[in-house]
Each structure stands twice: as C-alpha cells, then as structure tokens.
Structure 1
C-alpha cells in the first residue's frame, strides 16, 4: 500500500464511522420519541392497546417502504422510553449503542446500576450482540459486584474504577461442567475445548496429545515466557 495516501484513507474511514454513529443516534432518537408518544397516549387513555396494532397495520399498508414498525417493535419502543425516562444520566449512553444492544440491556437488566454497567461496558469493549448476551447470561454484573465487595471500603473509595480491575471469578459455562467440579475436570474440559478448536482449523494444524513432552531450547522458553507475561498484562 502506498504510504502517501494513508492519511486520506484514515480521514475517509473516520468520516464514515462518524456518519454511522450519527445515523444510529438519530434512529435511537426516533424510537425514543415514538415510545414517548405511545406511552403518553396510553397513559392518558386516549389510546387503547389495540390502537398500537392498528398503527402498525397503518404503517405497513400506507407506507410499505418503512420497515421495522410492527406492533411488537412499537411496544419495545414504549418499553425503551419508560425504562430510561426517569434516568437522564443514561440518555447519552443509549444513543451511542445500536438498537439491538439497547434491546438486550433494557429487556434483560432489572436495575439502574445493572443497565448502566452494561451500557458502559459495551461502549468501552465494543461488544457484539452475541458477546453482550453471553456476558449478561453469565451474570458478569453480579460477579463483578461480588468481587468488589471483597476490597476494603477505603480502597473502593480511593479509586472507584480500580475495583473493576480486581476479579477473581471466571466463567466456564462453555465447558458444560457439573457443579461442583474438580480441578482435574476443569483442566480436562479446557484441553477438550482447545483440541476441538485446533482440529477445526484444518489440516495445517495438529493436536498431538493432552500431555506431550517437548524438548525446546532456552531461547524458545524465554520467548514463550515473555508472551505469557505480555498476555497477562493485557488481561488486566
């Protein structure tokens, strides 16, 4: 690639990303406003529940080019608005996430703190829908809060962000282990998953065995050590 044009390519990519964010924010604003309108109409008894179905049919019949406004989705917009209307602190956050991410969070999280936790987490870690769903199912919020309580109140007050860097719990639900399980069962489960992963990579990769002795040089060991150290630093 010609390095002379790197800056221009970067400007194009940045502008494209900014445009996508702007479109997403406008879409979330639209869903918020629709949810607010429907909520107020129902609260004042100006509309009955059946009117939402009539609205969805009206859009489908008279505006066929407008997609995504079924009665089910309109009810979700109402739920979205009612979930956050009393929490202006979260309003800027929801506009930075996609509608899919927002639906997962407001429909599955029960408290303000939990919703705020996942909103910030998705923004920081750029989670996909699948990863967000997995983290919620694995009770990441609850486990993080439990881990934070093990620190002294003085330390938690000293740096609130510091508490989330100390975690001593891990989720291995993908191993399908029974509870409780032994260390050997955990090891076997991890090795089994690694084996399946390596074999799925194709014929260019080989799984020799669970415990196989290798004769390596000191240079290899030193390099491997630095890789592990760097990986651990990245984890924290």
Structure 2
C-alpha cells in the first residue's frame, strides 16, 4: 500500500467515526426532545383537569415559551396541541385498559407499557405524528413504530406503508400490546416516564432572550371537547 492510499484509508476511518458519532448524537437529541414533548403534554393535560382554563391557555403557553426560548423550535400553538394529542392517543387507551383489567381481573404483563416507553421515543417526531394520525389503535401504531425502527423507514416510505395497509397485509402482526393485559398501576407510571430534569436541562442548554413576565392564562369556562385526530 502506498503512503497516499494508506493516508486515504486512515482519514476515511476517522470520517466514519465522526459520522457514527453524529448519528448517535442526533438519535439521542431526538429521544430527549420527544421525552420533553411527552412531559409538556402530560403537564398540560393534568392542568386542564384541575384548573378552569380553557384551550385558550395553550396559546399563552406557546407565546411564553417562544419568547423565553427563541432559538428552540417546536413550541408553536399547533405543535403544543399535537403533543397533547400524541400523549392522549396512547394514554387514553391505557386508561380504558385500566378499567378493563379491573372488570375482567385478567393476568398482568408489564411489557405493554414498557414497550411504548422504549419505542415511541426512538423515531422522529414527524414519524410519530404520521403514525398517530393514521392508526386506529395502539396495536397498529406500535406495529408501525416497530417497522420504522427495524427498516429505517423515511417518513415518505412510512406513509406509503400505512396507506397500503401493511398492518393488515402482515396479518396484524403481534405487537405484544393487549389492552386487557395492562396492569392498572402502570398507567400512572407511563405518565411519569419522562425525567422532570429535562425541562431544567433545556433551559440551561439553550440561548434565551431576557426573561419577561409570563402572560396570565386566560380563564375560560371549560366545555367538553372532543379531540380530533389528524
């Protein structure tokens, strides 16, 4: 091997290591962002249960967060609403599962909730939104999450697979998620699966504008609202 070729091989090895590190860093950042989205959604849902704030307060949250963290994208009113819808897509069905378990007194498995927690944070936000908006239930959603991870689907390919009903064509492959097998106490555990320090870490790790007083949330009479999936 000539000196020139030896150098080319050497520098290519370095480049490969850098690219591998970049990919790992991107995956980690994506996971932390999604866990933060989940935590924000949980906080919004819980606050709406306990306070007389209507949906208008989400616009106030968006304005305050965008003013405090101007360099961070993702805090638009629409995206906050999608975070809440994403959280409820999984969590509301788990609440139904909790009721089902108490009625049927069926055997329990922790794998179901653990699977959701370990999988949905591994794929990009856009993929999560596509799966949430087009899946009829958690079984179907987890099937497409698994398929995306296994096959490294781009968003376009994922949408094609969903629209061509890969789930049904695959014989509704077992996802190890059965509503009747979810332990009731795990529902609460999933809600708190995000580390609270992520919010604090975000604040310390970003460039923010001078702090301003947050706007007061609008007090609106709460009215029954039906969440419409995209």
- For 1:93, the equivalent position in structure 2 comes to 119
Normalising by structure 1, what TM-score?
0.57
- For 1:214, the equivalent position in structure 2 comes to none
Aligned equivalents of 2:135 and 2:51: distance in 1? 28
- For 1:30, the equivalent position in structure 2 comes to 36
The equivalent position to 2:65 in structure 1, one of 56, 59, 70, is 59
Aligned equivalents of 2:74 and 2:138: distance in 1? 27
Please show how residues 112-127 of structure 1 align to structure 2 within 5 Å: 112-127=138-153
Please show how residues 173-192 of structure 1 align to structure 2 within 5 Å: none
The equivalent position to 1:17 in structure 2, one of 12, 20, 23, is 23
Q: Report the secondary structure of 1:22's partner residue.
A: helix
Q: Structure 1, residues 110-132: CA drift from partner, whole Å, max 9, x if none?
A: 11210111001001111111111
Q: Report the secondary structure of 1:145's partner residue.
A: coil
Q: Is the 8 A contact 1:59 1:66 kept in 2?
A: no
Aligned equivalents of 2:147 and 2:153: distance in 1? 8
Aligned equivalents of 1:65 and 1:7: distance in 2? 34
Q: 2:105 matched to 1:79?
A: no
Q: Report the secondary structure of 2:170's partner residue.
A: helix
Deviation (angstroms), 1:63: 4.1
Normalising by structure 2, what TM-score?
0.59
Query: Larger relative contact order (C-alpha < 8 A, sep ≥ 6)?
Result: 2
Q: Relative to 1, partners in 2 of residues 1:64 and 1:8: Cα closer, same or farther, differing over 3 Å?
A: closer
Q: Structure 1, residues 171-201: CA drift from partner, whole Å, max 9, x if none?
A: xxxxxxxxxxxxxxxxxxxxxxxxxxxxxxx
Instruction: Select the structure that is richer in helix.
Output: 1
Deviation (angstroms), 1:144: 1.4
The equivalent position to 2:166 in structure 1, one of 111, 115, 140, is 140
Aligned equivalents of 1:64 and 1:12: distance in 2? 29
Please show how residues 99-118 of structure 1 align to structure 2 within 5 Å: 99-118=125-144
Aligned equivalents of 2:170 and 2:28: distance in 1? 32
The equivalent position to 1:47 in structure 2, one of 32, 45, 53, is 53
Aligned equivalents of 1:76 and 1:14: distance in 2? 31
Task: Structure 2 unaligned segments of length 5 or more: list them.
Answer: 95-112, 176-230
Aligned equivalents of 2:157 and 2:50: distance in 1? 39
Deviation (angstroms), 1:104: 0.7
Aligned equivalents of 1:110 and 1:84: distance in 2? 11
